[in-house]
Amino acid sequence: MNNRPGVWLRHSQWDALLIVLALGHGLLLCTTPPMWVVAIGLWWNANTVSHNFIHLPFFRSQILNELFSAYLSVVLGFPQSLWRERHLAHHRGVEFSWRNWKPAWLLETMLLFGWWLCLMAAVPRYFSGTYLPGWILGLVLCQIQGHFEHAGGAISHYSRLYNWLFFNDGFHVEHHARPGRHWTQLPGLGPALDPAHQSRWPAVFRWLDWFGLDGLERLVIRSRILQRFVVQRHEAAFRRLQSLQPILKSVERITVVGGGLFPRSALVLQKLAPHACLKIVDARRDHLDQARRWLNERVDLVCEFYSPAHSVTQSSAAVVRDAADLVVIPLAYIGDKSKIYGSPPARHVLVHDWLWCKRGRSVIVSVLLLKRLNLVEG
C-alpha cells in the first residue's frame, strides 16, 4: 500500500486501513464485549481513526464523509461533528462556542440516542451493567490522554510500538506544529529537541512520572544511607565489568548524559578515572545545580539537551567520533535508546538499562534497583 490518494480516498491509501479498523470496532461492539474492551476500543478509536478523520476527512465524497462521521458517532458514543468543532477550536487556540451549532450535531446526537434505545430494549442488563460503565471509562481514558498530551505544552512520545499501534499519535508536538499534515508524514517532521516536550510514557500513562525516576532520585538525595548504597552498587558494577577497566585507564574525555539529581555515575568515575576530563550534559539547570554539591570543580557541567550528534562529527570521508572517548547514558534517557545501541555515539558507550535489557558486555548493578550496565563499542 502506498501513500498516494485512491479513487475514493482523498489523501492516502493508508486511510483505508483506518476505515477497515473502524468497521471492525463496530462489529466488535455488536458481540457485546466486556467493559474493558468497550473502554479501550473507545480510547483507541478516538485517538486514531476519529482524530485523523477530524483533521483530514478520508473520502473525496462529502456524502461519504458525512456517513462515516455518523458511523463514528454511533461507535464512539458522542457526535463526531461536534467533537470535530471542539478539537479544531483547540488547535486554533480559541474557545469553543455552542452558539455556532450545526444541524449535523443534532442529527448525529439523535442517531446515537436511537441506537442506545435499541440497545436498552434488546440487551438492557448489558447496556446498563457493561456498556455504559465501559463507555464512561473510555471517556475517562480519553480525558487523561488529552490532559497529559498538553500538560506543560504539547508533548511527544517516540516509542515505535505505540506509534505503530496508534498510527503516529505519539508525534504530538509535530502534529501541533503541522495539524494539516497526514499522519503518515509526522515522523518525517523531525523530533522535538526540547526534553520538556518529550516523554518516555504514552500520554495515558504519563501520570507514572509522578512516581518515576526523578521521584526516586529526590528520595535518594534526602538519605545518606541511600546515597552510599547506590554509589557502592554502581562502583561495584563498574569494577565487575572487566572490559571497562582498561578503557577507564586510557580514556581522556568522558561525557555523562543526564547527571541527575544525585550523580552516582560521575561520582564513581571521579574515583575510577581521576585523570579523565569529565563532563555532564543535562537539559535541566536545577538538576545540575543539585549535582554540583557532590562533584569537584574539575567536572564540567553543560546545560543543554543531549543528542548523539554531540559525540559524532561528520567528515568528508567518514563519521568521526571525537567528542568523547566514553559516553554514559542514563536509565532515564530521553530519546530512542535502541539508536544508541545500534549506532553508538562514541568509541565506548556505557548504558544504564533495566535488568531485563542485556546488550553487549553487561553486569547487574542491583536486582533491587532492577538495573544493569551495558557496555557497547562504537
Q: Are strands 348-354 and 277-282 parallel, antiparallel or unpaired?
A: unpaired
pLDDT of residue 210: 64
Q: Are residues 240 and 286 in the same domain?
A: yes
Number of separate domains in the chain: 2
Does the residue 157 lie in any domain? Answer: yes
Residues 230 and 285 in one domain: yes
Q: At what angle do helices 62-76 and 80-92 cross, to 10 degrees?
A: 100
Whether 4 is covered by a domain: the verdict is no
The cell numbers describing 309, all together, are: 550528534
Tell whether 156 and 220 lie within a shared domain.
Answer: no
Beta bridge partners of 329: 351
pLDDT at residue 321 in the model: 40
Among 275, 282, 283, CA closest to 254: 275
C-alpha cell at 321: 567520533
The answer to whether residues 59 and 153 belong to one domain is yes
pLDDT for 38-80, tens place per residue? 999 999 999 999 999 999 999 999 999 999 999 999 999 999 9
Q: Residue 314's pLDDT is what?
A: 41
Spatial distance between the Cα atoms of 211 and 224, rounded to a whole number of angstroms: 21
Is residue 6 domain-resident?
no
Residue count (the chain): 378
Q: Is the same domain home to 230 and 177?
A: no
Residue 128 is predicted with a pLDDT of 94
Task: Return the pLDDT at 304.
Answer: 86
- Same domain (yes/no): 186, 223: no
pLDDT score recorded for residue 338? 83
10-residue stretch averages of pLDDT, the chain, 378 residues long: 74 94 96 95 97 96 96 96 93 84 91 95 95 96 92 84 93 91 87 68 79 67 84 90 89 86 87 91 84 85 79 40 79 83 90 88 86 89
Residue 261's domain is classified under what CATH number? 3.40.50.150
Residue 10 falls within a domain, yes or no? no
Domain carrying residue 336: 215-377
Name the residue with cell 532492577: 370
Q: Do 197 and 96 share a domain, yes or no? A: yes
314 within some domain: yes
Residues 174 and 275 in one domain: no
Residue at a domain's end among 206, 223, 256: 206
Got the DSSP string for 304-358? S---GGGG-EE-SSSEE--S-SEEEE-TT-SS-HHHHHHS-SSSEEEEEEETT--
Domain boundary among 206, 230, 263: 206
C-alpha cell at 373: 550496565
What pLDDT sits at residue 371?
Answer: 87
Clarify whether residues 224 and 156 are in a common domain: no
Check whether residue 241 and residue 340 sit in a common domain.
yes
Residues 179 and 261 in one domain: no
Task: Give the CA angle between residues 351, 310, 363 to the nearest 5°.
Answer: 10
Are 81 and 186 contained in the same domain?
A: yes
How far is 205 from 63, CA to CA, in rounded Å?
38
With b for 16 or more beta-carbon neighbours within 10 A and e for fewer, the 347-362 pattern comes to bbbbbbbeeeeeeeeb
Which of 184, 206, 228 terminates a domain? The answer is 206
Q: Is residue 1 assigned to a domain?
A: no
* Residue of 59, 56, 55 whose CA lies nearest to 10: 59
User: What confidence score (pLDDT) does residue 206 get?
Assistant: 80
